């Protein structure tokens, strides 16, 4: 009887740095994360004519535009890969990464009303945003894979089938990199709103500094200095690895992946630390 009458007190407080991030609590709130994912889809395609079909239409239109601009007019090399397939692969993978950054960066400002009313682990919001971007990518990947099989049947592409399972850790790394960058920006935009404009423009510039619409082999032949700079881009290794897996044409080294993974750990750690610090006072500044 005494045991039934005991009163329990649960104290919630913001995390203090990466070491204090309660991953167990995040797992307990996995249903909430899924609800946020479904909410993102509902909001994104509400009052649209084509609805979720835009997930497929956007990369197709982008790939078509890049084919004309960079393939036909500029005449950039695609390492022998059919241009439509080359650009569709690049836009799909980059779209996953850029969407993670752009949408996560608005976490605090877009959801301040919810954050100020009820407690839940604040990290559930950016994680759900990253998962929404991942689901969009998987739908686009299905379209890409169908097109890939068509060109395989024509003998124009030779994927490394044995390496396809490596796509899973590759996507995890890209997702964590986007999550880290996004929560760093979201932590800063609570005080500096105009940073959102800079981030949107910066992500676009970052794309052109990444082998998305051109292969890394083209940079190797231009300038040794530029090539070394490209190696320090954390998205170079995932992009080239994706092509190596599905086209057999990407240029990937252990050094590239070491640099990319190091950047991912640093940016994610810094992001979690900043996020946990800002969540204590963001209601007063947003």
Amino acid 169: pLDDT: 95
User: What is the per-residue pLDDT across 224-238, written as a single tens digit (0 to 9) for each?
Assistant: 778 888 889 999 999
User: What is the per-residue pLDDT across 142-194, written as a single tens digit (0 to 9) for each?
Assistant: 999 999 999 999 989 989 999 999 999 999 999 999 999 999 888 887 777 76
Read off the pTM: 0.85
pLDDT at 270 over 50: yes
Q: Which long-range contacts (CB under 8 A, 24 or more apart) does 241-245 make?
A: 241/166, 241/170, 242/89, 242/93, 242/167, 242/170, 243/79, 243/81, 243/86, 243/89, 243/215, 244/160, 244/163, 245/159, 245/160, 245/163, 245/164, 245/166, 245/167, 245/170
Q: Which of 43, 168, 182, 169 has its CA nearest to residue 125? A: 182
Secondary structure of 129-145 in HEC code, one letter for each residue: HHHHHHHHHHHHHHHHH
Q: How far is CA 145 from CA 142, 150, 164, in A?
A: 5, 9, 11
Q: Please compute Rg for the chain using Cα positions.
A: 21
Q: 239 and 158 in contact (C-beta within 8 Å)?
A: no
Going from N- to C-terminal start, the domains of the chain cover 17-285
Amino acid 242: pLDDT: 95
d(CA 276, CA 219): 39
Q: Is residue 227 helix, strand or coil?
A: helix
Mean pLDDT across 242-246:
94
Burial class for 192, CB neighbours closer than 10 Å (0-12, 13-18, 19+): exposed
Mean pLDDT across 40-53:
67
Mean pLDDT across 132-148:
92
d(CA 90, CA 87): 5
Q: How far is CA 156 from CA 19, 53, 79, 286, in A?
A: 49, 28, 12, 53
Q: Which of 158, 254, 260 has its CA nearest to residue 211? A: 260
Q: Which of 207, 188, 204, 182 has its CA nearest to residue 103? A: 182
Count Cα neighbours of 48 within 13 Å in the Cβ-side half-sphere.
12
Q: Is residue 158 helix, strand or coil?
A: coil
Find the helix packing angle between 83-104 and 195-208, rounded to 10°: 160
- Helix (H) / strand (E) containing 95: helix 83-104
User: What is the per-residue pLDDT across 82-107, written as a single tens digit (0 to 9) for each?
Assistant: 999 999 999 999 999 999 998 888 77
List strand residue ranges (DSSP E) for the chain, in order.
none
Amino acid 168: pLDDT: 95
- For 107, the token pair is 């976490």
């Amino acid at each position: 009887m005494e045991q039934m009458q005991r009163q329990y007190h649960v104290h919630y407080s913001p995390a203090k740095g990466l070491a204090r991030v309660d991953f167990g609590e995040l797992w307990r709130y996995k249903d909430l994360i899924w609800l946020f994912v479904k909410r993102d889809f509902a909001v994104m395609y509400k009052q649209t004519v084509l609805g979720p079909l835009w997930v497929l239409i956007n990369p197709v239109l982008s790939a078509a535009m890049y084919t004309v601009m960079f393939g036909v007019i500029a005449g950039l090399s695609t390492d022998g890969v059919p241009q439509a397939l080359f650009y569709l692969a690049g836009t799909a993978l980059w779209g996953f990464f850029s969407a993670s950054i752009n949408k996560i960066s608005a976490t605090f400002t877009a959801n301040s009303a919810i954050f100020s009313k009820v407690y839940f682990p604040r990290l559930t919001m950016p994680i759900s945003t990253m998962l929404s971007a991942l689901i969009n990518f998987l739908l686009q990947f299905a379209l890409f894979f169908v097109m890939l099989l068509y060109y395989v049947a024509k003998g124009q592409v030779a994927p490394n089938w044995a390496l396809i399972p490596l796509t899973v850790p590759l996507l995890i790394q890209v997702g964590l990199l986007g999550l880290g960058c996004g929560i760093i920006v979201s932590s800063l935009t609570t005080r500096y709103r105009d940073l959102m404009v800079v981030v949107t423009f910066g992500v676009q510039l970052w794309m052109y500094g990444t082998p998305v619409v051109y292969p890394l082999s083209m940079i190797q032949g231009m300038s040794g200095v530029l090539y070394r700079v490209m190696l320090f881009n954390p998205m170079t290794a995932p992009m080239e690895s994706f092509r190596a897996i599905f086209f057999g044409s990407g240029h990937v080294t252990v050094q590239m992946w070491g640099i990319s993974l190091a950047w991912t750990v640093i940016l994610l750690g810094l992001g979690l630390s900043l996020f946990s610090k800002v969540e204590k006072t963001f209601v007063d500044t947003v």
